[in-house]
Amino acid sequence: MRKLLISGTAGLALTAGALIFAQGPLVNIGSRHPNLRAAQQSIADAYNSVERAQGANRGRLGGHGERAKALLAQASHELRLAADYANHRR
């Protein structure tokens, strides 16, 4: 039963992560951390630029555009975690 619970939780986390990457990075850091927010906004802008490049090239970027978008989404998420960490350490 415990293994089932652990594997179910892991599966849910992976699914949530895939959804985060699929929708693109959000700008969800408030004014309390202006530098982190600015970095997150830059990531969102870069993500949108990659999407436009994919459209202009009809998706023929050898999978590198998708990989770049996934890494950008991951970086945005890490910035959110950094802001959360800073909030709880004050």
Q: List the domain boundaries for the chain.
A: 2-89
Q: Which two tokens stand for residue 85?
A: 């960490």
- Among the residue ranges 12-16, 29-33, 83-87, the one predicted with the least confidence is 12-16
Per-residue pLDDT reduced to its tens digit, 23-39: 799 999 999 999 999 99
Identify the pLDDT of residue 13: 60
Nearest to 47 by CA among 67, 26, 64, 69: 69
DSSP notation for 47-75: HHHHHHHHHHTTT-STTHHHHHHHHHHHH
